[in-house]
Amino acid sequence: MPAPIRLRELIRTIRTARTQAEEREMIQKEFIVEFGTNAIHSLSEYNHFYSSMIQPVKSDLNHSTQYVQGLALCTLGCMGSSEMCRDLAGEVEKLLKTSNSYLRKKAALCAVHVIRKVPELMEMFLPATKNLLSEKNHGEILHTSVVLLTEMCERSPDMLSHFRKLVPQLVRILKNLIMSGYSPEHDVSGISDPFLQVRILRLLRILGKGDDDSSEAMNDILAQVATNTETSKNVGNAILYETVLTIMDIKSESGLRVLAINILGRFLLNNDKNIRYVALTSLLKTVQTDHNAVQRHRSTIVDCLKDLDVSIKRRAMELSFALVNGNNIRGMMKELLYFLDSCDPDFKADCASGIFLAAEKYAPSKRWHIDTIMRVLTTAGSYVRDDSVPNLIQLITNSVEMHAYTVQRLYKALLDDISQQPLVQVASWCIGEYGDLLVSGQCEEEEPIQVSEDEVLDVLEGLLVSNLSTPVTRGYSLTAIMKLSTRFSSMNRIKKVVSIYGSSIDVELQQRAVEYNALFKKYDHMRPALLERMPIMEKTATNGPAEIVQTNGETDSTILDTKHLPSITQPASQVGQCNYHICFCFAGIPPMTAYNKNGLKIEFTFERANPNPNIAVITIHATNSTEADMTEFVFQAAVPKQQLRMRVKLTYTHKGSPVQDLAEVNNFPPQSWQ
Amino acid sequence: REREREREREREFIMIFTFSCNLKMQFMLLFSRQGKLRLQKWYVPLSDKEKKKITRELVQTVLARKPKMCSFLEWRDLKIVYKRYASLYFCCAIEDQDNELITLEIIHRYVELLDKYFGSVCELDIIFNFEKAYFILDEFLLGGEAQETSKKNVLKAIEQADLLQEVSNHILWQCSKNLSDLLGNHIATPQ
């Protein structure tokens, strides 16, 4: 470095001063500026003196002493604002071309900062990059040059294409680093300049990505680094890690990719937890693309679930879920359930959701599936996400042969613990739905329990009064009690409960109770139909259960507001206000015939709602073309969330005999749902 | 045209890649086991209030880590790399795409530089000579990136800056001595 010459020069200059005044002047000129820069250095970017700093920094950049220049570059490069960068980019560019390597490397990093702050200025640094990697500058400025080139390539596809031609040069430099003899200056534990190696590997990654030719050109050197790097210390592993990242990102041949994954596999067995951590992180990134290769390390990954470190556990968990498939589901689920039991509360929600998803995809049997759900609900029941409740209900509904078993297990779980709300909600719903199976002891899968109707009602009423129950849970439980009125014989008790809650302080509960009361008093003939068993719900794209739509409008029969139908119209809160309306944009939709059979014709007409025009109101016109009356007519409709179609259930009495029919309405005009 | 379209697609991909990939150290903190901050170097613009908040939260988080845990943790949207040397925690915040293992080496290199300069560095050295510690850091890292990978060169640069400092101090001392001599001639003489 030429610094000593400057320093001596400076001292000589000062000594030439003939008078003290002159001496003082020289010092002032030289050092107050420097102190000024130091002062600037410690100010934060939001200081309003910023714009007045530009001039001092600018003059410092042109100072005769490289230390002052260096300080100025440092100041600018660490926290220069966009304004400063814009004004001083020219000075930085000049210094990037100087022969003084001390300044040149600082200028390079300063340029990186300028580009980050003002990306449009990138072009102006292009000429200066021409010889950055040339041999005569080896060592001194290579590292910062590579950093600058990397920044430019990342920010601009044009720069990226332009610099692709540097690949052979970079490969050569890297090769020299690996092959060269001992260089004590740059050595870290026997490895030459690992910082530079890592930066070159990263730049190669960016240049090779998506480009066949470049990837091929770097293939050999990557294999060489991967096999020859000493792995006994962290520094060697740092280089291997970067190499693996590069191999996985470029278009490498399959042999190289396998080599990379195997390196990660070895990392997993390393005693150093840091190495295990980066291995898991990288495996998580490649598990989709190199699934089979990663599967081979599954048991090691599962072992990491027992690691003491929180970050390692989390990665191991995510990776485990990614590796679950139809073949390993039983074994994996055992490990994951065990993990769920013992893991931190932070993990439980994610783990539970992951287990539900995996179970749904790969369950080997319905019984296994229900058992797994039960296990999750009982061990992590309070951490389960809210949206799991409707999903689980749908699952249970559709597992018809498991109803008796499920309700029995859920009932038993309630006897043990009523604090976990998701568990309690699912259990309440099931008891309301399948309570008849419970008391009649129909369970085949295990020993049926003996329980009376009163005992079941005791449990449900217990939920209503318990402080542990949330308002939502109370809603579930009241509804369940109501549903049992058509399944149990103890109607009086149920009527009493329902009438008591008609004056509940909780408005939700009150409304429900009042409506259920009305069912008992005025619409008792409808009650059986309304409260009967839910049909199998079709899976929609969103995996959510079907919803009951609110039918508006007048008809000549009594259409009941089905809003509080005891089913899964509980807060599927994600959907927001549109739960009970069909929302769509439209203009003039023609009426349609939804159903026409046995003299009963049902037509739908559409209109814009007022005031919200995004909501359509479907008016149902039902006409009876037979001679006899149709009485006790009930129209029920279920609408899946995604597409506009309906499953309709009609019941009425005609000529003295009850008629019941199920139908699907699929012929909604496209304008109604597009 | 096919190639154009492919390039367009690649460009799109690269553009997204660009925004999500920042290879940068955002800040470095040094603090004691009691949570006293000894050094702070920020490579991103933040208000004093924000800096204080980050420092407070991060120091708490790192001090709560048990010895068996690894040196990396996720904090907000950053990766934190920390290492304890005697009574001091060296803590860096890096962005998502950075190589954590090499960051450990960066920390280690800085510790080696301090060690070489102060001769078996300890916390007290840093407390009483914090400007020097910053100076050494600024000769090693610039904008969060290593500017010099040779230990020798960094130490040489610092040595020379020290010499410059000494010379300037000497000259200033000289000046002030001359000045006080001058003043002394006038004031000291009793009336």
pLDDT score for A643: 59
pLDDT band at residue A671 under the 50/70/90 scheme: low
Could you tell me which chain B residue has the CA closest to the CA of A193?
B149
pLDDT score for A554: 29
B102, B162: one domain: no
Could you tell me which chain B residue has the CA closest to the CA of A186?
B150
Distance from CA of A238 to the nearest CA of B (A): 5
pLDDT score for A20: 60
Q: Which of residues 92-151 of A touch B (CB under 8 A)?
A: 102, 105-106, 109-110, 112-113, 116, 139-140, 143-144, 147, 150
Q: Is the per-residue pLDDT at A64 higher than 90? A: no
Beta carbons of B178 and A20 less than 8 angstroms apart: yes
B19, B75: one domain: yes
Q: List Cα–Cα distances, A9 to A64, A463, A511, in angstroms.
A: 10, 90, 93
pLDDT digits 0-9 by tens, A400-420: 889 999 999 999 999 999 999
Q: Mark yes or no for CB contact A308/B73 under 8 Å.
A: no
Whose structure tokens read 């074994």? A331
B85, B139: one domain: yes
pLDDT (mean) for A13-40: 56
β-partners of residue A630 are: A654
B141, B154: one domain: no
Q: Mark yes or no for CB contact A78/B46 under 8 Å.
A: no
Which pair of structure tokens corresponds to residue A417?
A: 């613990």
Q: List Cα–Cα distances, A602 to A597, A622, A625, A673, B28, in angstroms.
A: 9, 4, 11, 20, 73
pLDDT score for A610: 57
Q: List Cα–Cα distances, A426 to A89, A429, A571, A634, B44, in angstroms.
A: 65, 5, 13, 28, 50
Beta carbons of A250 and A202 less than 8 angstroms apart: no
pLDDT digits 0-9 by tens, A513-570: 999 999 999 988 888 888 888 888 776 544 333 333 333 332 222 333 333 333 333 3
B138, B167: one domain: no
Peptide bond into A364 cis (omega under 30): no
Collapsing DSSP states into helix, strand and coil, what is residue A130? coil
A138 or A9, which is more confident: A9
Does A39 contact chain B (CB < 8 Å)? no
Q: For chain A, give every domain's residue range.
A: 7-42, 386-538, 572-672
Beta carbons of A234 and A272 less than 8 angstroms apart: yes
Dist CA A408 CA A370 (whole Å) = 12
Distance from CA of B6 to the nearest CA of A (A): 11
B47, B117: one domain: yes
ipTM tops the 0.90 cut? no
Buried b (16+ CB within 10 A) or exposed e, B49-88: eebeebbeebbeebeebeeebbbbbeeeebbbbbbebeeb
Tell me the percentage of chain A whose pLDDT exceeds 70. Answer: 80
Tell me the percentage of chain A whose pLDDT exceeds 90. Answer: 49
Eight-class DSSP state of B87: T
B29, B103: one domain: yes
Dist CA A521 CA A62 (whole Å) = 95
Query: CA dihedral defined by B74, B78, B81, B86, rounded to 10 degrees?
Result: -90
B78, B8: one domain: yes
Could you tell me which chain B residue has the CA closest to the CA of A239?
B102
β-partners of residue A658 are: A653
Collapsing DSSP states into helix, strand and coil, what is residue A536? coil
pLDDT digits 0-9 by tens, A570-624: 333 322 222 222 322 233 567 788 888 888 888 887 776 655 656 667 778 888 8
Dist CA A239 CA A632 (whole Å) = 79
> Burial of B131 by CB count in 10 Å (0-12 exposed, 13-18 middle, 19+ buried)?
exposed
pLDDT score for B24: 77
Give me the sign of the Cα torsion angle B21, B23, B29, B33.
positive
Domains of chain B: total: 2
Eight-class DSSP state of B76: T
In a mutational test of the B interface, the residue from A274, A276, A315 whose CB has the highest number of chain B CBs within 10 Å is A274
Q: Mark yes or no for CB contact A139/B150 under 8 Å.
A: yes
CB hemisphere CA count around A474 (13 angstroms) = 21
Q: Which of residues 123-182 of B touch A (CB under 8 A)?
A: 138, 142-143, 145-153, 156-157, 160-161, 163-164, 167-168, 171-172, 175, 178
Dist CA B6 CA A658 (whole Å) = 66
B144, B165: one domain: no
pLDDT digits 0-9 by tens, A71-95: 888 888 887 888 889 989 999 999 9
Q: Is the per-residue pLDDT at A277 higher than 90? A: yes
* A319-333, A418-432, A466-480, A580-594: least confident range: A580-594
β-strands A187-188, A191-192 pairing:
antiparallel
With 0.80 as the threshold, say if the pTM is over it: no
Set of chain B residues whose Cβ sits within 8 Å of the Cβ of A34: 168
- What type of residue sits at position B29? L
Dist CA A433 CA A412 (whole Å) = 16
Q: Mark yes or no for CB contact A274/B161 under 8 Å.
A: no
Beta carbons of B89 and B31 less than 8 angstroms apart: yes
Distance from CA of A4 to the nearest CA of B (A): 7
Of B24, B148, B175, the CB nearest to A23: B175
CATH class of A572-672: mainly beta
* A151-155, A387-391, A667-671: least confident range: A667-671
pLDDT digits 0-9 by tens, A96-155: 998 888 999 999 999 999 999 999 999 999 999 988 887 665 567 899 999 999 999 999
Which pair of structure tokens corresponds to residue B143?
A: 């904008």
In 3D space, the residue among A49, A642, A465, A652 whose CA is nearest the CA of residue A473 turns out to be A465
Report the range out of A197-201, A394-398, B176-180 with the highest average pLDDT.
A197-201
Query: CA dihedral defined by A249, A255, A260, A261, rounded to 10 degrees?
Result: 110
Q: Is the per-residue pLDDT at A219 higher than 90? A: yes
pLDDT score for A568: 32
Specify the CATH number for the domain of residue B47.
Answer: 3.30.450.60
A132 or A172, which is more confident: A172
Does A11 contact chain B (CB < 8 Å)? yes
Dist CA A537 CA A539 (whole Å) = 6
Q: In terms of residue numbers, what domain contains B21?
A: 1-148
B29, B121: one domain: yes
Which pair of structure tokens corresponds to residue A516?
A: 């259920």
CA A524 to chain CA centroid, Å, is 48
pLDDT (mean) for A206-221: 95
Q: Mark yes or no for CB contact A79/B68 under 8 Å.
A: no
Q: Mark yes or no for CB contact B150/A73 under 8 Å.
A: no
- Angle between helix axes A388-398 and A345-362 (nearest 10 degrees) is 30
Q: Is the per-residue pLDDT at B47 higher than 80? A: yes
Of B149, B171, B172, the CB nearest to A186: B149
Of A45, A102, A109, the CB nearest to B143: A109
pLDDT score for B67: 85
Q: Mark yes or no for CB contact B70/A144 under 8 Å.
A: no
B120, B28: one domain: yes
B137, B172: one domain: no
β-partners of residue A631 are: A653
Of B68, B149, B160, the CB nearest to A7: B160
Dist CA A511 CA A419 (whole Å) = 25
Set of chain B residues whose Cβ sits within 8 Å of the Cβ of A69: none
